[in-house]
Amino acid sequence: MTPGELLHRLSGSLRSQIGPAVGDEYTRTQAFMASVILERLSKQVELQSAHGEAERADMIALCAQLDPVLALAPDQVRADLESAVSTCRLDDLGPLIDSLYEPEVEPELRDAALGLLRPVLRRDIDRRMAIAT
Amino acid sequence: MSDSTATDEAGLTAVIAEYLTEKLEVDGVVSIEDLTRIAVGWSHETWLFDAVWTDAAGTQRRGMCLRRDPGNALLRETSDLAQQFRVLRCLEATQVPAPKVFWYEPDSVSLGGPAIIMEKVAGECPSPWRRAGREFYAAAADRGVLPLSFTDSLAAIHNVDWAAAGLDFLGVPAGGDDFAQSEIRKWRELIEASGHSGHPILNDLIGWLETNAPTTDRLTLVHGAFRTGNVLIHEDRVSAVLDWELQVIGDPMYDVAYMLTALNRQDTELLSNVVPRQLFVERYESATGITIDEDRCRYYQLLYAMRSAAFWMSAAGLYADGSNTDLRLARTEWSVTVALEQAAQELGY
Above 70 in pLDDT, residue B241?
A: yes
Tell me what the pLDDT averaged over chain B comes to. Answer: 92
The model's pLDDT over A92-113, given as tens digits with 9 standing for 90+, comes to 999 999 999 999 999 999 999 9
User: What is the least distance, in Å, from the CA of A3 to any CA of chain B?
Assistant: 20
Paired with B58 in beta bridges are B55
Top pLDDT among B80 and A18 is at: A18
What is the pLDDT at residue A126? 97
> Rounded CA gap, A41 and A37, in Å?
6
User: What is the least distance, in Å, from the CA of A93 to any CA of chain B?
Assistant: 6
* Inter-chain CB proximity B199 and A94 less than 8 Å: yes
Chain A residue with the nearest C-alpha to that of B203: A94
What is the pLDDT at residue B323? 84
User: What's the complex ipTM?
Assistant: 0.94
Residue B80, classified by CB atoms within 10 Å of its CB into exposed (0-12), middle (13-18) or buried (19+), is middle
Pick from A13-27, A71-85, B33-47, B272-286: least confident: B33-47
Q: Which residues of chain B are within 8 Å of residue A91 when distances are taken between CB atoms?
A: 197-200
Pick from A80-84, B37-41, B150-154: least confident: B37-41
The 10 Å Cβ neighbour count of residue A38 is 20
Which run of H or E residues covers position B248? strand B248-250
Q: How many domains does chain A have?
A: 1
Q: Which residues of chain B are within 8 Å of residue A36 when distances are taken between CB atoms?
A: 331
Above 80 in pLDDT, residue B77?
A: no
Most confident of B33-37, B166-170, B264-268: B166-170
Q: Which residues of chain A are within 8 Å of residue B335 when distances are taken between CB atoms?
A: 132
Q: Where would I find the beta strands (DSSP E) of A13-99?
A: none
* Inter-chain CB proximity B203 and A29 less than 8 Å: no
Q: Which residues of chain B are within 8 Å of residue A97 when distances are taken between CB atoms?
A: 200, 203-204, 207
What is the pLDDT at residue B324? 84
Coil/strand/helix, residue B187: helix
Return the half-sphere exposure (C-beta side, CA atoms, 13 A cut-off) of residue B151.
23
B73-to-B252, B326, B327 alpha-carbon distances in Å: 28, 11, 14
B64-to-B68, B69, B163 alpha-carbon distances in Å: 13, 17, 29
- B36 shares contact with chain A (CB less than 8 Å): no
What is the pLDDT at residue B4? 40
Is-contact B219 B249, C-beta < 8 A?
yes
The model's pLDDT over B58-76, given as tens digits with 9 standing for 90+, comes to 899 999 999 998 776 666 6
> Rounded CA gap, A102 and A99, in Å?
5
Confidence class for position B325, pLDDT limits 50, 70, 90: confident
What is the pLDDT at residue A25? 81
Pick from B22-36, B169-183, B224-238: least confident: B22-36
Above 90 in pLDDT, residue B227?
A: yes
User: What is the least distance, in Å, from the CA of A1 to any CA of chain B?
Assistant: 25
* Inter-chain CB proximity A33 and B328 less than 8 Å: yes
Tell me the whole-structure pTM to 2 decimals: 0.90
Q: Which residues of chain B are within 8 Å of residue A33 when distances are taken between CB atoms?
A: 327-328, 330-331
Which run of H or E residues covers position B100? none
Is-contact B64 B119, C-beta < 8 A?
yes
The model's pLDDT over A35-66, given as tens digits with 9 standing for 90+, comes to 999 999 999 999 999 999 999 999 999 999 99
* Inter-chain CB proximity A40 and B338 less than 8 Å: no
The model's pLDDT over B127-165, given as tens digits with 9 standing for 90+, comes to 998 899 999 999 999 999 999 999 999 999 999 999 999
Please report, as a single letter, which amino acid is at residue B311.
F
What is the pLDDT at residue B41? 60
* Inter-chain CB proximity A122 and B340 less than 8 Å: no
Size of interface A-B (CB pairs under 8 A): 77
Above 70 in pLDDT, residue B2?
A: no
B287-to-B87, B157, B158, B279 alpha-carbon distances in Å: 23, 11, 10, 12
Is-contact B279 B292, C-beta < 8 A?
no
Domain ranges, residue A75 = 3-132
Above 90 in pLDDT, residue B275?
A: yes
What is the pLDDT at residue B78? 64
Paired with B271 in beta bridges are B275
Is-contact B284 B256, C-beta < 8 A?
yes
What is the pLDDT at residue B56? 84
What is the pLDDT at residue B40? 57
Nearest to B330 among A37, A100, A119 (CB): A37
* Inter-chain CB proximity B204 and A133 less than 8 Å: no
* Inter-chain CB proximity B349 and A119 less than 8 Å: yes
* Inter-chain CB proximity B200 and A36 less than 8 Å: no
